[in-house]
Amino acid sequence: MGRYSVKRYKTKRRTKDLDLIFEDLASEQRVNALLKQPLDETKPGLGQHYCIHCAKYFETPAALKTHLKGKVHKRRVKELRGVPYTQEVANAAAGTDVGRFLERVEQIKHSVGPQKERNEAALAAQLETALENAATREAPLPHCASAEAGFMADGEVEMN
C-alpha cells in the first residue's frame, strides 16, 4: 500500500468536468444560485467570489478580476463554447444509440444553446458590474487602510 498507491489518481487539482459546467451555464437558476451563495467559512473568500466557468473560488474580487483576464480562464471559456463530450458522444462514435445522440444535438441547438448564451451574457454583465464596484470599494479591513496610509508616494514607509 506504499506511497505509490497515493500517486495512482491525480485528483489534487481536479476540477469540475465540462459537461457539468455546461449544465450549470444552461440553467438560469443554477447560475443565480452560484453567483449569490450564502456566506460559507469553509470556502475561500467566504464563497462570494466564484468563477462558474472554472468552478473555482477566489479570496478577493481583485483575484477574481485577475483570473478573468488570464489565459487559463479564457481557455476554459473557449472549451465551453462547444457541446461537451459525454457518454452519448462515445456511444454514437461506436455506432450505437446514434438516434439518441442526434436528438440530444437538436435539443442543444434549439433550446439549451440559446438559453446558455443568454445566461453567459447576463453572467458577463453581472461580473463586470461587480468587479467595477470592487475597484471603487474601500479596503475591507480597517488595519489595511491605516497601513496603506503609511506608504509615501515614492514607495517608502513613513516612520512616525
| Dist CA 40 CA 111 (whole Å) | 34
pLDDT tens digits for range 5-43: 666 777 777 888 888 998 888 888 998 898 888 999 999
Single pTM value for the model: 0.68
pLDDT tens digits for range 52-104: 999 999 998 889 889 988 999 999 999 988 878 888 888 888 888 888 888 88
Residue 135: pLDDT band (50, 70, 90) is low
pLDDT value for 157:
55
Higher pLDDT, 112 or 160: 112
- Among 92-96, 126-130, 142-146, which stretch is predicted with the lowest mean pLDDT? 142-146
Range 33-65 burial, b when 16+ CB lie within 10 A, else e: ebeeeeeeeeeebeebbbbbbbbbbbeebeebb
Q: Is the pLDDT of residue 145 over 80?
A: no
Residue 156: pLDDT band (50, 70, 90) is low
| Dist CA 43 CA 18 (whole Å) | 22
Please state the rounded mean pLDDT for residues 106-118: 81
Q: 54 and 76 in contact (C-beta within 8 Å)?
A: yes
Higher pLDDT, 131 or 36: 36
Which cell is 155 given? 514607495
Phi, psi of 98 (to 5 degrees): -65, -40
Task: Catalogue the E-assigned strands of 24-123.
Answer: 49-51, 56-58
Q: 23 and 111 in contact (C-beta within 8 Å)?
A: no
| Dist CA 112 CA 38 (whole Å) | 27
